[in-house]
Amino acid sequence: MTGRILITGAKGFIGQYCLEAFAKAGWETIACLRLSADLPYATDILECDLLDHVQTERVVSNSGATHLLHLAWHSDGPTKWTSATNMDWVDASLNLARAFAAQNGKHFLFAGSCAEYDWAQSPFHAETTPVRPATPYGEAKAKTGAALAALQSTLDLKVAHARLFFCYGHGEPKGRLLPDLIDHIQSGTPFDCSDGLQRRDYLYAADIAEACLTIASAAASGVINIGSGTAVPVRDLVQAAADLLGRPDIPQYGAIPQRDGDPEEIEADISGLSALGFTPRFDLVSGVRDTIARREGAG
């Protein structure tokens, strides 16, 4: 199944991978962003401040989209988890869904987060793990997903609530683990990090995009975890990059302590995603290798 998909946050890290995946699968791709930009895989580009409800309604009405992938959110790294702006995005997202339904949209895919779950109960099951967010970011994502689920029958709209786990890839903003590590490797300076023994469920951004494509193509609904299904030590990601770039000595494990209260393991149960036929194409090493290749190609 293909269609015409409106992708909010299309200029973002994950958004650009999603534009590529949908375009290569034969979809018409409409990039929705605050300020216009050159996006090679976009069929059309629409400027919109999604926090402006009137502007949103106008742009969505003009889009002609059959499907919508909602990735846009408050993205300021230092304040992402705690900003009061997270709650503004709850209202913005519901307004977006109403506007989309009003122009006869069929499928709405909302990008939630593993931060919605109670992090003490890994592995996380979409149907049974308690929703108990510890941050305003997780709380806002959970409220949005619950409200969309409650509205879908009224709006005659299928809604998928995809809870994304840990991702990496080309285009990650500075301040995140992998791009900061690569910067240190390229400058030849030591990279201080924790012991890296905490386990996380990582999925390469290209596979996240393919998972979104799988969900949209199937017009699936409900809560669906997007992850690899296997938690690995964080140091595996760090060492993969260091080894591939020929500087295995750069990471300084144990130079800083783990954060207080940091869970030992965060792992997704991906049975819902697997049932749709999704299988990741990249393992950790091949995903990091592709990240490095894309970064070098963009440089």
DSSP 116: G
In eight-state DSSP terms, residue 3 is -
- Is 221 part of a structural domain of the chain? yes
Query: For residues 245 and 188, what is the distance between their CA atoms, to the nearest angstrom?
Result: 11
In a domain? residue 288:
no
SS3 5: strand
| C-alpha torsion sign, points 72, 77, 79, 80 | positive
- Locate 153 and state its tokens: 């029958």
Q: Is the pLDDT of residue 230 over 70?
A: yes
State how beta strands 265-266 and 231-233 pair. unpaired
Q: Please indicate, yes or no, if residue 178 is contained in any of the structural domains.
A: no
What is the per-residue pLDDT across 264-293, written as a single tens digit (0 to 9) for each? Answer: 999 999 999 999 999 999 999 999 999 999
Residue 258 token pair? 């783990």
- Encode pLDDT of 113-172 as tens digits: 999 999 988 899 999 999 999 999 999 999 999 999 999 999 999 999 999 999 999 999
Tell which residue, 74, 79, 75, 102, has the closest CA to residue 90. Answer: 74
- The mean pLDDT of the chain is 96
Check: CB of residue 75 under 8 Å from CB of residue 12: yes
Q: Does residue 49 lie within any of the structural domains? A: yes
The pLDDT value recorded for residue 99 is: 97
Stated as kind and residue range, the H or E segment containing 118 is none
Q: Per residue in 2-39, pLDDT tens?
A: 899 999 999 999 999 999 999 999 999 999 999 888 89
From 79, 88, 187, 188, select the one nearest 143 (Cα to Cα).
88
Residue 141: which residues within 8 A CB-CB, separation 6 or more?
73, 86, 112, 113, 115, 116, 133
Is residue 298 one of the residues assigned to a domain?
no
pTM comes to 0.96
Tallying the residues shown for the chain, one arrives at 299
**Is residue 28 a part of any domain in this protein?**
yes
3-state secondary structure at position 159: strand
- pLDDT at position 216 over 90: yes
Q: What is the greatest pairwise CA distance in the chain?
A: 57
Q: Are the CB atoms for 185 and 132 separated by under 8 Å?
A: no
Higher local confidence (pLDDT), 92 or 175: 92
Q: Is the distance from CB of 18 to CB of 69 less than 8 angstroms? A: yes
Evaluate whether 255 touches 193 at the Cβ level (below 8 Å). Answer: yes
| Per-residue pLDDT at 136 | 97
Range of the domain at 80: 4-168+202-228+267-281
- Structural domain total, the chain: 1
pLDDT tens track for 235-258: 999 999 999 999 999 999 999 999
Using CB atoms within 10 A of its CB, is residue 97 exposed (0-12), middle (13-18) or buried (19+)?
buried
Structure-block tokens of residue 267: 């792992």
Q: Rounded CA gap, 34 and 10, in Å?
A: 10
Tokens for 164? 């994304």
Q: What is the pLDDT of residue 299?
A: 66
At 143, which CATH number? 3.40.50.720
Question: Is residue 253 in a domain?
Answer: no
Check the CA dihedral 123-128-133-138 and report its sign: positive
